[in-house]
């Protein structure tokens, strides 16, 4: 007779009734633990805002911040500055050696009161002349340039540091296509190939074809090409009081101390063969014959270039041009000569025309102001 017992594992089998062989049907709960925090039952307190509770709080905050505000106002009162807009000097100023008054709306200043100063002393004057600016290792490259000479009076001595800035208005260094138009690897010294440059961020100023060979610009990009190229002399004290010396130069440097340490870390000695790269369009006047082993950009030590490459976030900005950290700038009449280059930016993209931003020469301010301007600054509070 055939065995009709169901196989093991069948629901009617004896083994299926064994508790050890039965699978647990209990499922894990995803319910949060029954605690005040997990169940959001924490005690809470909501203040009731009334004049009796709010006004004392306002007074307490005012007592704390009033001295801080007073200190800031006092510190700003120590700032001494003179700002001169010289944008139209090369067209409106008299021809040297004749000097004319700078329009009063182009001059602003803040100095300590000086009862001995006269109206004629405090009026800024300007003059212009054509000169040949010199470039190259032997100063053999001559570039016709308008030189603007500014004369101004400093009524109060300025203790170091004295800072000299230039300021630009209506210049959008934060334009999205402008601000990224450079190659960090190229600036750090890497000999980036023309193929890599042409497909990188330097657009629209990437490469050009020379004798059938595609070569990269060095440095490539709009930011480098548009570097501000006006140059400033150190202030010269005219008719030195109590001295037989006619003039005395207040030496300011533009090679050290004007760029940040973090700026310099971004640059390295270029590994390019100088015949393999091309001069940017706006640099042609300084390098009319291209680069050579004897004459080429030294971006590692070019502090003004490094300052320019740190792009500004607003359309009106100032950048440090030169400084003196050791000597006092005594009161008196000064002259600064500015070589006024043809500084024009190539179009960034279709629909955006070339730009020539107004310049300002701001001379004399106390370094209380943290933002650079085209001026000379001095901090009476000390370094």
pLDDT at residue 355, as a whole number: 40
Q: Which of 10-19, 28-37, 334-343, 361-370 has the lowest mean pLDDT?
A: 361-370
For the cut 50, the answer to whether the pLDDT of residue 347 exceeds it is no
Q: Which of 97-111, 188-202, 235-249, 344-358 has the lowest mean pLDDT?
A: 344-358
Comparison of pLDDT for 303 and 356, the residue scoring more: 303
Q: Where are the domains of the chain?
A: 67-378
Comparison of pLDDT for 367 and 109, the residue scoring more: 109
The secondary structure of the chain, three-state, reads CCCCCCCCCCCCCCHHHCHHHCCCCCCCCCCCCCCCCCCCCCCCCCCCCCHHHHHHHHHHHHHHHHHHHHHHHHHHHCCEEEEECCCCHHHHCCECCCCEECCHHHEEEECCCCCCCCHHHHCCEEEEEEEEEEECCCCCEEEEEEEEEEEEEECCCECCCEEEEEEECCCCCCCHHHHCCCCHHHHCCCCCCHHHHHCCCCCCCCEEEECCEEEEECCCCHHHHCCCCCEECCCEEECCCCCCCCEEECCCECCCCCCCHHHHCCCCCCCCCHHHCECCHHHCCCCCCCCCCCCCCCCCCCHHHHHHHCCCCCCCEEEEEEEECCCCECCEEEEEEEEECCCCECCCCCCCCCECCCEEEEECCCCCCCCCCCCEEECCCCC
| CA 90 to each of CA 26, 95, 145, 148, 153: distance values in angstroms, whole numbers, following the listed order | 91, 9, 10, 6, 21
Q: What is the pLDDT of residues 170-207, one digit of tens each?
A: 999 999 999 999 999 999 999 999 999 999 999 999 99
Average pLDDT over residues 338-343: 79
Q: What is the pLDDT of residues 221-257, one digit of tens each?
A: 999 999 999 999 999 999 887 777 789 999 999 998 9
Percent of the chain with pLDDT over 70: 79
Model confidence band, residue 327 (pLDDT cutoffs 50, 70, 90)? very high
pLDDT at residue 138, as a whole number: 86
Model confidence band, residue 352 (pLDDT cutoffs 50, 70, 90)? very low
pLDDT at residue 112, as a whole number: 78
pLDDT at residue 382, as a whole number: 44
Q: What is the pLDDT of residues 275-286, one digit of tens each?
A: 999 999 999 999
Average pLDDT over residues 268-277: 96
pLDDT at residue 78, as a whole number: 84
Report the C-alpha gap between 82 and 109 in whole angstroms.
4
Average pLDDT over residues 33-39: 89
User: What rounded mean pLDDT belongs to the chain?
Assistant: 84
């Amino acid at each position: 007779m055939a065995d009709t017992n169901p196989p093991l594992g069948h629901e009617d089998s004896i083994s299926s009734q064994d508790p050890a062989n039965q699978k647990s049907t209990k499922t894990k709960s995803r319910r949060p633990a029954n605690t005040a925090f997990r169940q959001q039952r924490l005690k809470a307190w909501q203040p009731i805002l009334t004049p009796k509770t709010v006004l004392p709080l306002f007074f307490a905050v005012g007592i704390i911040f009033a001295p801080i505000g007073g200190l800031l106002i006092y510190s700003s009162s120590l700032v001494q500055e003179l700002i001169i807009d010289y944008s139209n000097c090369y067209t409106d100023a008299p021809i040297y050696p004749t000097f004319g008054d700078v329009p009063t709306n182009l001059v602003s200043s803040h100095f300590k009161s000086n009862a001995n100063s006269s109206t004629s002393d405090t009026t800024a004057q300007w003059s212009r002349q054509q000169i040949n600016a010199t470039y190259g290792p032997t100063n053999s490259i001559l570039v016709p340039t308008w030189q603007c000479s500014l004369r101004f009076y400093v009524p109060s001595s300025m203790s170091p540091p004295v800072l000299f800035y230039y300021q630009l208005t209506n210049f959008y260094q934060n334009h999205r296509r402008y601000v990224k138009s450079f190659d960090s690897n190229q600036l750090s010294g890497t000999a980036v190939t023309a193929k890599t440059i042409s497909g990188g961020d330097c657009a629209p100023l990437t490469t050009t074809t020379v004798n059938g060979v595609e070569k990269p610009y060095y440095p490539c990009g709009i930011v480098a090409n548009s570097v501000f190229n006006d140059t400033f002399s150190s202030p010269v004290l005219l008719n030195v009081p109590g001295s037989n010396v006619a003039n005395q130069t207040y030496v300011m440097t533009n090679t050290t101390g004007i760029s940040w340490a973090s700026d310099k870390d971004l640059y390295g000695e270029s590994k390019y063969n100088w015949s393999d790269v091309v001069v940017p369009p706006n640099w042609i006047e300084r390098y009319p014959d291209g680069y050579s082993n004897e004459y080429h950009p030294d971006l590692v030590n070019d502090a003004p270039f490094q300052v320019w490459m740190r792009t500004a976030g607003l359309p009106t900005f100032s950048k440090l041009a030169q400084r003196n950290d050791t000597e006092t700038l005594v009161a008196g009449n000064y002259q600064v000569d500015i070589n006024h280059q043809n500084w024009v930016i190539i179009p960034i993209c279709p629909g955006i025309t070339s730009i020539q931003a107004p310049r300002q020469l701001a001379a004399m301010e106390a370094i209380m102001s943290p933002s650079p301007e085209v001026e000379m600054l001095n901090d009476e509070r000390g370094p």
